[in-house]
Amino acid sequence: MNQQKEWPNAYTELVVTAGETPKRLDVFLANREPMLSRSALQRLILDGRITINGLPVKPSQKIKPGDRIVLQIPRPEPLEMKPEPIPLDVLYEDEAILVLNKPAGLVVHPAPGHWSGTLVNALLHHFDSPHGSLSTIGGKERPGLVHRLDKETSGVMVVAKTDEAHRSLAAQFKQHSITRVYEALAWGAIKKPEGMIELAIGRDVKERKKFSARTARPKASATVYRVVQRLGKLATLVELSPRTGRTHQIRVHLAALGHPVLGDPTYGGRKVRELEGVMIPRVMLHARTLGFLHPTTGRHVGHTSPLPLDMSAVIDALEHIASTARSTDA
């Protein structure tokens, strides 16, 4: 089936505001246009499709307050969405739904930079036809998808096979009646054994690929957490239950608590990439449990996925370091 890429408007105009620090044009735009990668922006600049004050520039051009930047985005070409033999870890399937364990590294749906190799491509192959048993409410780009997980987040997802199932599940997500439990490895030792993080967040006003409390459109969000295991002073294994479903919510909330998710440089910087020589391979966040009312039977069902091997390996390594430190101190 033909798939149309979704880009920003054909023409986008930005004016650099007073107080903006000098930086390269491509860096500035990468923070303002989250749908475009820095490399894509550089190509547009070199093609003359991005100008400053009506003049062509280079990607290294430094912006300054008052500059008028115009982006001309070429209209997208049709994209053929094809089934791809990507293995799926199916936890449950019936005539209405499919529940799977998404691995870390798998993008859920097509987006700029990821037009193939996604969960959607895998689902099309699983059903052996682009017109197979998947709900159509999400459109051609997101057949069957009721919710999503970030690329580096692993764990349980539910897919709707019928439009009726999609409507039922979507209503439950909107009402926040879905049971969702995550596990995360957070940087440092979280002192309080449990608590609730309440912080209104939205797209960051300066870094458009991030979400934070520094936003023009804050939306209320809340996450309940419980400490499961402290790995000395290095890290904490924490269980989290989001009460709302904002983008990057858990990652933003833990960072606001002062304990960003390990392996998440977007919200934790360099310090979360490595601890005492232990390399953190990805964002250490796992969607462990998903519970909901079955769209057909109305009965509550729950599905759980254990911690993946990469997270377990990091826990074991950090626990060994913490244990050695305790023995030395004793």
What is the per-residue pLDDT across 9-66, written as a single tens digit (0 to 9) for each?
Answer: 467 888 998 888 889 999 888 888 766 778 888 888 998 889 999 999 999 999 999 9
Tokens standing for residue 21: 């620090």
260-296: b (≥16 Cβ within 10 Å) or e:
bbbbbebbbeeebeebeebebbbbbbbbbbbbbbebe
Tens digit of each residue's pLDDT (9 = 90 or more) over 95-134? 999 999 999 999 998 876 777 899 999 999 998 754 458 9
Whether pLDDT at 2 is above 50: no
Active-site positions read: 150
Rounded CA-CA distance 71/29 in Å is 10
All domains of the chain in start order, with CATH: 2-74 (3.10.290.10), 81-174 (3.30.2350.10), 176-330 (3.30.2350.10)
Tens digit of each residue's pLDDT (9 = 90 or more) over 130-167? 445 899 888 777 899 999 999 999 999 999 999 999 99
Tens digit of each residue's pLDDT (9 = 90 or more) over 197-213? 999 999 998 887 899 99
State phi, psi for 272 to the nearest 5 degrees. Answer: -95, 0
Name the pTM for this structure: 0.79
Residue 80 has a pLDDT of: 65
Tokens standing for residue 38: 């820095």
Residue 38 has a pLDDT of: 82
Mean pLDDT over all residues of the chain? 90
CA angle 35, 39, 43 (to 5 degrees): 100
Residue 74 has a pLDDT of: 72
Residue 55 has a pLDDT of: 92
Residue 98 has a pLDDT of: 96
Residue 111 has a pLDDT of: 76
| Distance set, CA 305 to CA 101, 154, 181, 275 (Å) | 7, 9, 10, 26
Element (H, E) at 309: helix 309-329
User: Any bridge partners for residue 92, and if so which?
Assistant: 99
Those residues whose C-beta lies under 8 Å from the C-beta of residue 134, and which sit 6 or more positions away, are: 123, 124, 127, 143, 144, 159, 160, 161
CB atoms < 10 A from the CB of 253, how many?
25
Residue 330 has a pLDDT of: 60
Contact call for residues 304 and 289 (beta carbons, < 8 A) = yes
| Distance set, CA 223 to CA 137, 181, 197, 251 (Å) | 29, 10, 5, 11
Contact call for residues 179 and 292 (beta carbons, < 8 A) = yes
Q: β-strands 55-56, 274-275: how paired?
A: unpaired
pLDDT band, very low/low/confident/very high, at 92 (cuts 50, 70, 90): very high
Whether pLDDT at 8 is above 80: no
Q: What percent of the chain clears pLDDT 90, i.e. is strictly above it?
A: 69
- The tokens 């626990």 sit on which residue? 319
Tens digit of each residue's pLDDT (9 = 90 or more) over 311-323? 999 999 999 999 8
